[in-house]
């Protein structure tokens, strides 16, 4: 084998395909980019129960999906604020695929029975998915706001400040409506100036605005495409929450949650909150 081929240099036409690089002075570029050793070090179980590694890794993978969703929706907000609708729609549509992958993560826990979960559950102490601050960012960006879910993070000042900022900041829906108002659509002033820290129900005028867009879904209608992308987000996120409820019901029934919540009952109430309510209400009035 020639030195040129060993080190990945372009092969001479007569030499055939180049071989992959197999010698590195330090860690491979793949390791440096992906950080596999750091990922391995994060799989720190607290018991030797064989079911726990799956539970931990799936939870960690979901956190990574939350981070990616947050980035996509914050990018969509920035694009909307400079009236780049194409860029915003692209980010929102990508996030739908991320949500589908997030939903698929539950498949790795479908086998978890109550006995298996009980094998390590007590050792989790007060740790609970309720305490995920990246998930709170996801909820806040979707307009599901509540000051109470910020409080658990006071012990991490930077995280707490970031969540307080997100609580008061516009949601993705707020930025969509501000964009539509700049396009000349009749978004009421009281909607544009409403309290950002609260979850909002459907507003009759906004419902009618979306209904009008949906009454004429012409090919190439970018506002219709926007509405459908947002509806896909709402549907996939709702599916994730419903699968969460089912996973909890299957693995622990109606026991109290590890973090002190009512467990299943609390999740069911949370899952009942509607994302982008005007888009759903519009389907009733068309």
Residues at the binding site are: 121, 244, 258
Q: How far apart are CA 165 and CA 196, in angstroms?
A: 11
Contacts of 273 (CB under 8 A, 6+ apart): 144, 199
As to burial, measured by CB atoms within 10 angstroms (0-12 exposed, 13-18 middle, 19+ buried), residue 260 is exposed
Residue 74's Cβ-count burial label (10 Å; 0-12, 13-18, 19+) is middle
Cα separation values, 237 from 139, 140, 149, 163, 199, Å: 10, 13, 19, 20, 16
Residues contributing to the annotated binding site for substrate: 121, 258
Alpha-carbon distance values, 82 to 165, 180, 206 (Å): 21, 12, 22
Binding residues for heme: 244
């Amino acid at each position: 084998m020639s030195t040129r081929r060993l080190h990945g240099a372009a092969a001479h036409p007569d030499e055939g395909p180049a071989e992959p690089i197999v010698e590195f002075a330090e860690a491979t570029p793949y390791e440096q980019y992906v950080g596999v050793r750091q990922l391995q070090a994060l799989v720190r179980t607290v018991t030797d129960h064989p079911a726990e590694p799956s539970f931990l890794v799936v939870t960690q993978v979901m956190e990574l999906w939350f981070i990616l969703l947050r980035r996509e929706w914050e990018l969509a907000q920035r694009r909307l604020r400079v009236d780049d609708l194409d860029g915003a729609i692209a980010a929102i549509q990508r996030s739908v695929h991320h949500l589908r992958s997030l939903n698929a993560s539950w498949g790795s826990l479908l086998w978890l029975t109550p006995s298996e979960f009980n094998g390590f559950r007590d050792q989790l102490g007060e740790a609970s998915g309720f305490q995920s601050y990246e998930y709170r960012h996801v909820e806040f960006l979707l307009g599901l706001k509540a000051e109470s879910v910020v409080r658990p993070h006071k012990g991490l000042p930077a995280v707490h400040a970031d969540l307080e900022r997100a609580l008061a900041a516009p949601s993705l829906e707020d930025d969509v409506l501000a964009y539509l108002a700049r396009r000349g659509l009749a978004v009421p002033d009281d909607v544009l100036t409403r309290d950002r820290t609260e979850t909002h129900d459907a507003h009759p005028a906004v419902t009618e605005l979306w209904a009008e867009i949906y009454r004429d879904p012409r090919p190439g209608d970018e506002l219709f495409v926007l509405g459908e992308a947002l509806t896909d987000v709402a549907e996939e996120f709702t599916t994730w929450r419903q699968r969460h409820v089912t996973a909890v019901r299957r693995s622990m029934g109606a026991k109290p949650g590890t973090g002190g919540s009512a467990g299943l009952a609390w999740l069911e109430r949370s899952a009942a909150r509607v994302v982008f309510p005007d888009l759903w209400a519009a389907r009733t009035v068309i």
